Amino acid sequence: MAIQWFPGHMYSTQKAITERVKDIDVVIELLDARLPGSSANPMLAELTAGRPTLKVLNKQDLADPERTALWLAYYNALPATRAIPLDASQTTPAQQIVKACHELSPNRGGLAKPMRVLICGIPNVGKSTLINTLTGSRKAKTGDEAGITKLEQRITLADDFYLWDTPGMLWPRIIVPRSGYNLAASGAVGRNAFDEEEVALELLGYLKSNYAAGIAARFKLVELDAETMAGMKDEALLDTIGRKRGALLGKGRVNLQKAAEIVMHEFRAGNLGRITLETPEEFAVWLADGQRADAERAAKKAARKQKGKPKPEAASGQDA
């Protein structure tokens, strides 16, 4: 099942960014360090083209440090782009953002030319927490739910540093299926837009091959070594986890919905260990496959449209 979520307020955000970016010096895009490719908004890249960009890999304390290093190298190799890791709740690392913005736009600063920064990101990536950390107050609402912030707001970090916060925004059509599952697993997608059991199965399918030790430790699956777990069907692993956690229905059947909720909660809370759901190389393959499938879909749609057009009438050769 393709996962898509683009509620009405995101259209308003898209328009607001289009207007605001004309006067912006630096764009900050907050990414989820556990899914740095999937959480990068391709529509945002189009809207802010030509502006220096700071990629902030937030929640780095929950992510695999070796993979975070790979992603930082990937983004830092892009033109007019800097990337830094961050835990948005820590005050000192958050100050790196102000310094990085001045490095990206060195000619801005002072009352005559104040720094104007736009901060964007997917829902539930930690923008509001970061803003509250930077300002030392509760300027922005926070919560473990996608779509808390609904309106753009301007925040003054200093007399010569203005920050515009925008609501979390996805994009109208997610063409990389794996990204849809990763976004749902992270909490960036509204709960009504996906099936928890399906997402949990996709999540377990990746984790059992890459982070089996974390699953075994958290759910006390002492009878399963990494090789055995990797060979299990995803459904069997979810069933086993449900039994371990007592998510049972009548006659010993497992409540798979409850088991799925447990798996996703444990992942989001970081209880399975420091996990990153994609490497730059993996994401590049997924993106290429998604773009190819999307191009084929567009070609088929165009062919159907062309086929449905009435044929032009043959010329009669007579004057009207």
Instruction: Give the start-to-end residue ranges of the domains of the chain.
Output: 9-165, 195-268
153-158 sheet: strands from edge to edge: 81-86, 53-58, 26-32, 115-121, 161-165, 153-158
Q: How confident is the model at residue 136 (pLDDT cuts 50, 70, 90)?
A: confident
Structure tokens belonging to residue 87: 């835990």
- What pTM value is reported for the model? 0.86
Distance, CA of 303 to CA of 296 (rounded, Å): 10
Decide whether 9-165 matches 195-268 in CATH topology: no
Note the pLDDT of residue 145: 45
Taking only the tens place, the pLDDT of each residue in 172-202 is 788 999 999 999 999 999 888 899 999 999 9
Name the phi and psi angles at 84, rounded to 5: -140, 150
Asked if residue 104 lies in contact with residue 52, where contact means CB atoms within 8 angstroms, the answer is: yes
Write the CA distances from 77 to 80, 82, 108, integer angstroms: 9, 8, 23
Which overall architecture, per CATH, does domain 195-268 show? Answer: Orthogonal Bundle (1.10)
User: Do residues 236 and 203 lie in contact, with contact meaning Cβ atoms separated by under 8 Å?
Assistant: no
HEC secondary structure over 5-50? CCCHHHHHHHHHHHHHHHHCCEEEEEEECCCCCCCCCHHHHHHCCC
What tokens appear for 9 in the block?
Answer: 């307020």
pLDDT surpasses 90 at 283: yes
pLDDT at 146 over 60: no
Measured CA to CA, the distance from residue 162 to residue 117 in angstroms comes to 6
Predicted confidence (pLDDT) per residue in 77-94, tens digit = 999 999 999 987 777 767
Q: What is the DSSP string of 60-114?
A: GGGS-HHHHHHHHHHHHTSTTEEEEEE-TT-HHHHTHHHHHHHHHSTT--SSSS-
Could you tell me the fold of the domain covering 9-165?
Rossmann fold (3.40.50)
Separation in Å, CA 230 to CA 27, 187, 223, 238? 41, 25, 13, 13
Question: What is the mean predicted confidence (pLDDT) over 230-249?
Answer: 95
Whole-number Å distance between alpha carbons of 40 and 101: 19
| 161-165/26-32 β-pairing | unpaired
Q: Per-residue confidence at 151, pLDDT binned at 50, 70, 90?
A: low
Q: What are 94-115's pLDDT values in tens digits?
A: 778 888 999 999 999 888 999 9
Cα-Cα end-to-end distance for the chain? 56
Closest CA to 117 of 50, 169, 162: 162
User: Helix, strand or coil for residue 151?
Assistant: coil
d(CA 10, CA 15): 9
For the chain, what is the mean pLDDT?
87
| Listed residue (69, 180, 61) closest to 126, CA to CA | 61
Task: Characterize the bridge pairing of strands 161-165 and 115-121.
Answer: parallel
Is 56 in contact with 28 (CB distance < 8 Å)?
Answer: yes
